[in-house]
Every structure is written in structure tokens, then in C-alpha cells.
Amino acid sequence: MTAVKNYLSLIKFSHTVFALPFALIGFALGILSLLSGEDEVEIGSDYYIYTFLLVLLCMIFARSAAMAFNRYLDRNFDAQNPRTVIREIPAGVISANSALLFTIIMSALFIISTYFINTLCFALSPVALLVVLGYSFTKRFTPLCHLVLGLGLSLAPIGAYLAVTGIFDLLPVVFSFTVLFWVSGFDIIYALQDEEFDKKYQLKSIPVWLGKTKALRVSEVLHVLCALCVVAAGLSGSFGIWYWIGTAIFIGLLVYQHLLVKPNDLSKVNMAFFTTNGVASVVFAIFVIVDIVMQG
């Protein structure tokens, strides 16, 4: 049990609260699309349960691979940073080779899981892995690394929709852009903590590039774009009152996290990063899915 806890800590399993709710939105949209389609195709409940379990496994495997690889690649930096020196690899709780092996196993399980979903998901699985694993390299050469992280998590709603339907559609793509701007924005806030360290070790980030004050302005712009995407999705999908209640709460929490963090006061960064955004994604997903069920 101790080993399991160590690996769950390594991959920050609790952070699945960010992308998973949006994957569930994509999954629900896929079901609605099939149920309201013109084709007279009978699809039993077993298909939805089977697909849901595979989507869940894909989310777990992909995110576990991404986080373990990030910890493996950053192990030397983490050992020098007072904020991260307690992480599993620099602390000696998990060896670097074990973390790399774990990454390989999780990546293989992800690809295998997509094989049992449909041909399109299987064909796109290496691309998805390239994005989520490639993020870990980006802060070595571009301050736009936050956008790459956002891109990786933004695959959740469109991926889940493809798993159910096997086709692309506009609405889940709009939700993917929502995640892209949302995650990129709050990752910039999180990166404020390491501005001085990143400068010293020549790592790239928006705070290093622009400074804390301007970085927060960039984060605000990204969250405005996120809010616009949420509204655009609501209008495009002709959602009802439940969706708009969820949207109001979600946007309100976006605003709230920017009230928590100031350039000269980073004491509430963790509250803004995890608590506020975790609540925002879960609550928003609940209201959106309720609205989808009401439509169905």
C-alpha cells in the first residue's frame, strides 16, 4: 500500500480533477449526439458502459505517464528547488529508473486502451502521447510552455467525444479550447512561485519572460478567452438554464482566483491553483451534464 501511495503522490492523482470533468462533458455530448442522430442505430447501454470505462482508463494512463515523465525529466531541477525537493524522486522515495519504467508502462496501457475503443482513437493515440509527454521539454526552450500544458489537457473533451462517436464535431472542440485557455491561465499563476528559481537555472516561463505583474495580465487575458469559449459553447449547443448557472459559477471562480493572487503576495497561489480551479471544473461539469441529460 505504501508503494501505491508513493506513486499516486508522484503523479498527483488528485489533479485529475482538472481534466476529467471535461472528459465527462465530452463523453456526455457524444452520447447525446448518438441519441439524437438521424441514423436508426440501436446502441445498447453496454456500449456506453464499456466505452466509459475505457475513456476513464485512458485518462488515468495518459495523465500518469505525463506526470511521471515530468518528474523524471525534472528530477535534477526538483532536487535544487526548495519547493520541490520533497518530491518522490529527489527525496529518494522512488528511483528515477522506476519512474521512467512507470512512464513506459502507462504509455503502453494508454495505447492498448485506445485500441479497444475505435480505430480513430487508436490512430491518434501516439499524437496525444507526444503532446502530453512533450510538454515536459518545453520549459527548457519556450515561455509558451503553459500553452502546451493547456493543449495536453484540452485533448480530454474531444478525445472522450471521439471515443463515443468516432467523428469530430465543433462543440467538443470549443470545450477543448475552453480547457486550453483555462489551464494555460492558471498554470501561469502557479509558475509565479518559481520565477527566481527558473531565472537562475535558465528555465522558461511567462513570469520569467515578462515578470509577475505582466504574467498575471496574460493569465487574465487567457481566462477571458476561456470565458468567451464557455459562452460560445453554450450558444452553439443551445443549452438551457442549468448550463448557464454552471457557466456563471465557473466564470465567477475564474475572477475569484485572480483576486486571490497579487504580484507581491503569492501566499494564496495554491488555493487559487488547486482549490478554486478544482471546484470550478467539477461544479461546471455537473451543471453541464445535468443540462445534457435534460436535453436527452
In tens digits, the chain (296 residues) has pLDDT values of 777 777 777 777 667 788 999 999 999 999 999 988 644 446 777 899 999 999 999 999 999 999 999 999 999 999 999 999 999 999 999 999 999 999 999 999 999 999 999 999 999 999 999 999 999 999 999 999 999 999 999 999 999 999 999 999 999 999 999 999 999 999 999 999 999 999 999 999 999 999 999 999 999 999 999 999 999 999 999 999 999 999 999 999 999 999 999 888 888 888 777 889 999 999 999 999 999 998 86
Domain residue spans in the chain? 2-295
Alpha helices for the chain (secondary structure H): 2-10, 20-35, 45-73, 75-80, 96-115, 119-138, 145-165, 170-191, 195-200, 206-210, 212-236, 241-260, 269-270, 277-295
- What confidence score (pLDDT) does residue 45 get? 77
Tell which residue, 262, 287, 286, 285, has the closest CA to residue 272.
Answer: 262
Say which CATH topology domain 2-295 has: Tetracycline Repressor; domain 2 (1.10.357)
- What confidence score (pLDDT) does residue 40 get? 43
CB 1 within 8 A of CB 136: no
pTM for the predicted model, two decimal places: 0.94
- What confidence score (pLDDT) does residue 248 get? 98
